[in-house]
Structure 1
């Protein structure tokens, strides 16, 4: 019964996050275009470069946010209310200290860089200054809201998290309209309104969390031992985050050195396509991540093992169903979107999807390892393996391999990292079995991938290029991937559960909308 309740909660949270993603993505696409038109290319560029300078600190804050979320979720799993209150208060004071440090750095080195190194037209320097100030304060507000937003996610109130994101998206629509009709300096006005939206969001988070969660009442508690644990966790997490940044930026530098800006553009376009698809899977994993940590904290290791298997399998299946039509029809889709498709973009897109498929398997394992808290060796080993893509890429390019070899090396090291993560999870909890995980996850996803690719592969190669090929290949890709997942990738019990839940959903729909 407890397992059924957990699955129901995960499904409900995933649905809320998907709804949030669709709304925010559509609003984001619209507001980006409108703001570009309202500000103009020059002011839009100034806002991005100034805001980008401030957001560099998100590498540090992101590591601390991950630590806060992990410790909160863990103590919710153990049911230790007193420790939970200490975590909230300590994390808030940590964020306050970090905010002060960031303000000092940005108001000294940041302003020096703005006035002496940043390329800004002289007549827009004053506007850039105010944009910079509002960006700093907005970033500080987002830091201070971290303990509150972490509480919402740890308590699995994903619907509230989704509503707040949608509310923020609506605010941005209002801001767009206000900027368009404004007669004052639009860049400064835009930055000011975003700051105001941040204040309002912070206030709503504060009110909701104080009313709903007992730990969110501030107390003058600073637990030094807890701080050391959180800071240690965040520090090693920072190494993992840094490895990801180095891998991305290093790949861009290699592509630029061996192929030039045109190749960077092709890689950037491919990443944009893949980011949209991967966001669907990110919402799914975010829905069950708190349960992984809570079950580890509560010592429910058998349920945790099942959740890791299900999480890895279905994260892959979801990504695969979305990715397969794009992998086969990448050129046609990119042509519809761009008109002229830059060279190498199609190959980059396909290899990046392979990388994302490998990462989708790993996400539940990463959460389980974070739940354990012993991440030093894990971050060093896995981060080192992922960084291997840089020397592998460099050697390959020097030997005359095409520039797309960089994307291949990225996918290869991601697959290598899966095995390292599996190995390093041994001993973290009693019921973990590498053999069972390999059998239930790896064997299933390999067979599903091969079987599902046959029909669309034949369609893609036998039919002439164009709309007919796109329609048939996409149709075969979706149908064959869904059927392969259902009949090959799912057990008999899982198939029966899917049929039962589908019938329930249909009956609910009929009772509400069909008379």
Structure 2
């Protein structure tokens, strides 16, 4: 994930240079109309993986083919429905509501149609991707993800070299990559996991369970995707392509942080779901605590130096950028720190299968960000208010998450969570920020200060976490693990 993140960040620099800021903003606005529906992709991915992992945890692997077949049928029906909706209402919205410059309207339509193809193949690969996650084959997932990342970088590299319009070429290239990745997932999953096979006889109860679970999960994903893609569209409507381009830069940093967070989540989620299915709540509580700490401390270690050194990083990464891009990016990092903490909570709630009240109350708060942003823009507020509202709504929603988690999972303890995770996390953040800020102020801007700031952040976070944020048992486990690794290294 670190390698993929580095390649993706370089790809943005190359893409911004090859397309230009206005075309880059136009692409993100038009593609954002289609990508707003990726909440469906997120929903189905989580739902299918949950049912795979739960089934494996109960030792009913003979039911995997039924779940695979039902999910594939649901995806095919949804794909056809989405194609119809986007080619009618979506196309009208792009051509009449986004205020695209007339000379770029043809390219915008190409972007729109090929974004649909990309979305379609992304949906089709979900049952195969979920199978790889459920089997905890993280190496396979990492290899295919890296392949996808390199292929996308290759597409960006050839923008401007061919005679085709850059926006059109980029859209076609992304669609081609989506087809290749789908074929890779399908080929590997079918050959490594023979139990995931299509069958025609599928009980209605399987459809009912998948759709019921997916319905509320879909509402959650709609809220998460809606506020990011929805704000992209609102920024384009109220502030134009340059503000959208600045927000797109911030979103790339958001995606980089999300990749780090998800690399931890995808490793914990199958094991947590299986532990719940086995009623092994002791192991589940340990994994819940570890998952929260891994996410929080890893993101803090990276977030603090990036916030302080952001201008230098963006200048080296993309060249001179607008002040808006710097403000958006700092705020989006704070938002991501808050948002990422929901993952361990949501994993347990999804394990219970009782999503109705959780999704309704939590995500209704989150999705209020969109109308609030529209109203703020309409009243003349500055563009950064959109991300500030995202942060506020995210923090309120997390409090509601914890209340619902306590009701649905009695083993959860407010006191343990607040003292063991939140307060210790705040202490680690304050200590690390204080040390890193002193280093930042003591040195002149440049590569030496950048390295020193990141190094001091890593060292301070690790030491503070080890001595002050981990329990005695966690310290013992970590020390034992490190000694084993050192012994193996010395022997080799």
Normalising TM by the smaller chain, what interval?
0.7 to 0.9
SS of the equivalent of 1:299 reads coil
**1:378 deviation in Å?**
0.8
For 1:25, the equivalent position in structure 2 comes to 8
Query: How big is each residue's C-alpha offset from its partner over 1:249-297, in whole Å with a ceiling of 9 and x where there is no partner?
Result: 6656887899887766655544433433442222122221221212112
Query: How big is each residue's C-alpha offset from its partner over 1:221-247, in whole Å with a ceiling of 9 and x where there is no partner?
Result: 333222122222222222222323443
Q: Any conservation in 1 of the 2:24–2:245 contact (CA below 8 Å)? A: no
Change (3 A) 1:331 1:123: closer
Map 1:189-268 onto structure 2 (within 5 A): 195-248=175-228, 267-268=247-248
In structure 2, distance between residues paired with 1:448 and 1:436: 17
Which one of 433, 443, 448 corresponds to residue 413 of structure 2? 433
Q: Any conservation in 2 of the 1:285–1:363 contact (CA below 8 Å)? A: yes
In structure 1, distance between residues paired with 2:104 and 2:2: 44
Which one of 255, 272, 286 corresponds to residue 275 of structure 1? 255
For 1:12, the equivalent position in structure 2 comes to none
Change (3 A) 1:427 1:402: same
Map 1:342-357 onto structure 2 (within 5 A): 342-343=322-323, 345-357=325-337
In structure 1, distance between residues paired with 2:381 and 2:164: 54
In structure 2, distance between residues paired with 1:401 and 1:381: 28
Q: Do residues 98 (structure 1) and 78 (structure 2) align?
A: yes
Q: Any conservation in 2 of the 1:247–1:387 contact (CA below 8 Å)? A: yes
For 2:282, the equivalent position in structure 1 comes to 302
In structure 1, distance between residues paired with 2:111 and 2:324: 37
Higher relative contact order (CA 8 A, sep 6+): 2
**1:46 deviation in Å?**
8.3
**1:152 deviation in Å?**
0.8
Query: How big is each residue's C-alpha offset from its partner over 1:291-314, in whole Å with a ceiling of 9 and x where there is no partner?
Result: 121211221111111111111112
In structure 2, distance between residues paired with 1:135 and 1:148: 21
Change (3 A) 1:395 1:293: same
**1:400 deviation in Å?**
10
For 1:315, the equivalent position in structure 2 comes to 295
Map 1:64-103 onto structure 2 (within 5 A): 64-103=44-83
Q: Any conservation in 1 of the 2:250–2:329 contact (CA below 8 Å)? A: yes
**1:173 deviation in Å?**
5.7
For 1:372, the equivalent position in structure 2 comes to 352
SS of the equivalent of 1:374 reads coil
For 1:3, the equivalent position in structure 2 comes to none
Q: Any conservation in 1 of the 2:232–2:244 contact (CA below 8 Å)? A: yes
Map 1:389-428 onto structure 2 (within 5 A): 389=369, 404=384, 406-428=386-408
For 1:447, the equivalent position in structure 2 comes to 427
Query: How big is each residue's C-alpha offset from its partner over 1:78-111, in whole Å with a ceiling of 9 and x where there is no partner?
Result: 1212332211111111111122223444555566
Change (3 A) 1:474 1:138: closer
Change (3 A) 1:219 1:482: same
Q: Any conservation in 2 of the 1:64–1:234 contact (CA below 8 Å)? A: yes
In structure 2, distance between residues paired with 1:196 and 1:262: 28
Q: Any conservation in 2 of the 1:93–1:222 contact (CA below 8 Å)? A: no
SS of the equivalent of 1:285 reads helix
Change (3 A) 1:248 1:360: closer
**1:318 deviation in Å?**
0.5
**1:207 deviation in Å?**
2.9
- Contiguous gaps of at least 5 residues in structure 1: 1-16
Q: Any conservation in 1 of the 2:69–2:202 contact (CA below 8 Å)? A: yes
In structure 1, distance between residues paired with 2:374 and 2:242: 19
Q: Any conservation in 1 of the 2:155–2:170 contact (CA below 8 Å)? A: yes
Query: How big is each residue's C-alpha offset from its partner over 1:155-198, in whole Å with a ceiling of 9 and x where there is no partner?
Result: 11111111122233444466567887767888777766655544
Q: Any conservation in 2 of the 1:327–1:350 contact (CA below 8 Å)? A: yes
**1:220 deviation in Å?**
0.1
For 1:156, the equivalent position in structure 2 comes to 136
Change (3 A) 1:46 1:339: closer
Change (3 A) 1:46 1:104: same
SS of the equivalent of 2:408 reads coil
**1:466 deviation in Å?**
3.3
* Higher mean C-alpha displacement, 376-385 vs 301-310: 376-385
**1:369 deviation in Å?**
1.0
**1:472 deviation in Å?**
5.2
Q: Do residues 488 (structure 1) and 473 (structure 2) align?
A: no
Which one of 99, 105, 123 corresponds to residue 143 of structure 1? 123
SS of the equivalent of 2:341 reads helix
Q: Give the structure-2-normalised TM-score.
A: 0.82
Change (3 A) 1:249 1:64: closer
Q: If you compute each CA radius of gyration, which structure gives the higher value, 1 or 2?
A: 1
Change (3 A) 1:298 1:177: same
**1:413 deviation in Å?**
3.0
